[in-house]
């Protein structure tokens, strides 16, 4: 796997547009495109091997709101799509898997309703990515608005023996800020879990990606990158597969 395959471009959707938030703040929005489907297709054309789609409206409101856009993206691209944002019920997960989403990212539901979460994992083995959003060292839920008492590793350990795909670890304090990813936190999590970990949050340069890339031996599978790609700090098309 080369650096290009390691990078998973993010398409965050809010009010029907492709955006990025600054540190998870719903009011700190930068719009990067009026058509998220077109944006998704562009990343595929530049060589992306998979995409990370987030329904921000869904994350804040607790139910997917941009279903039609997601469906169009899945139909338009030929690479796997990972999706998260507002997946807080069995029916919501089933609906997006039925339209062809490869993996679903679930965070809040895993914390709030473990029974329903287990039903989802059992129904869709190896399709579930447990979303671990860390804020000040604790797991945050409900669109990063509410902090729990769990550290990322404590939270992840609850699910590591299940038939999940793996974990998505986001340091919310760094997300969209391009201040560098949480290398130590990512490594610590990955080396203590059986399942792969996708890193997210803070990537601002190709050097940041390379630091995470070196953690593959510990179980780091890839990194979700948003702002650094949109602002041209990293150019997918220039990288090795």
How confident is the model over 27-66, as pLDDT tens digits? 889 999 999 999 999 999 999 999 999 999 998 899 999 9
Distance CA 22, CA 236 (A): 22
Predicted TM-score (pTM) of this structure:
0.95
Fold category of 3-234 in CATH: TIM Barrel (3.20.20)
* Per-position pLDDT tens, the chain of length 241: 899 999 999 999 999 999 988 888 888 899 999 999 999 999 999 999 999 999 999 988 999 999 999 999 999 999 999 999 999 999 999 999 999 999 999 999 999 999 999 999 999 999 999 999 999 899 988 777 788 999 999 999 999 999 999 999 999 888 887 889 999 999 999 999 999 999 999 999 999 999 999 999 999 999 999 999 999 999 999 999 9
Domain boundaries of the chain, sorted by first residue: 3-234
Q: What is the pLDDT of residue 141?
A: 87
Is 136 assigned a catalytic role? no
Exactly one of 55, 133, 175, 208 is catalytic; name it.
Answer: 133
**Is-catalytic flag, 175?**
no
Locate tokens 């993206």: which residue? 73
SS3 call for 15: coil
Report how far residue 88's alpha carbon sits from residue 113's, in angstroms, rounded to the nearest whole number: 9
């Amino acid at each position: 796997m080369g650096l290009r395959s390691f990078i998973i471009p993010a398409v965050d959707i809010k009010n029907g547009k492709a955006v990025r938030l600054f540190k998870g703040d719903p009011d700190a929005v930068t719009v990067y495109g009026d058509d998220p489907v077109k944006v998704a297709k562009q990343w595929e054309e530049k060589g992306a091997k998979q995409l990370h789609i987030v329904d921000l409206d869904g994350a804040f409101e607790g139910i997917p709101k941009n279903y039609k856009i997601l469906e169009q993206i899945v139909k338009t691209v030929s690479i796997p799509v990972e999706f998260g944002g507002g997946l807080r019920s069995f029916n919501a997960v089933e609906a997006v898997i039925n339209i062809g989403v490869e993996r679903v990212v679930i965070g809040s539901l895993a914390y709030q309703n473990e029974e329903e979460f287990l039903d989802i994992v059992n129904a869709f083995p190896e399709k579930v990515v447990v979303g671990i959003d860390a804020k000040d060292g604790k797991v945050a839920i409900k669109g990063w608005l509410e902090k729990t008492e769990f550290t990322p590793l404590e939270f992840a350990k609850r699910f590591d023996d299940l038939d999940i795909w793996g974990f998505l670890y986001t340091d919310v304090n760094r997300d969209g800020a391009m201040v560098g990813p949480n290398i130590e936190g990512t490594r610590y999590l990955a080396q203590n879990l059986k399942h792969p970990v996708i890193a997210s949050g803070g990537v601002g340069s190709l050097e940041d990606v390379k630091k995470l890339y070196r953690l593959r031996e510990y179980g780091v599978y890839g990194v979700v990158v948003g702002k650094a790609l949109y602002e041209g700090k990293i150019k997918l098309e220039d990288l090795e597969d």
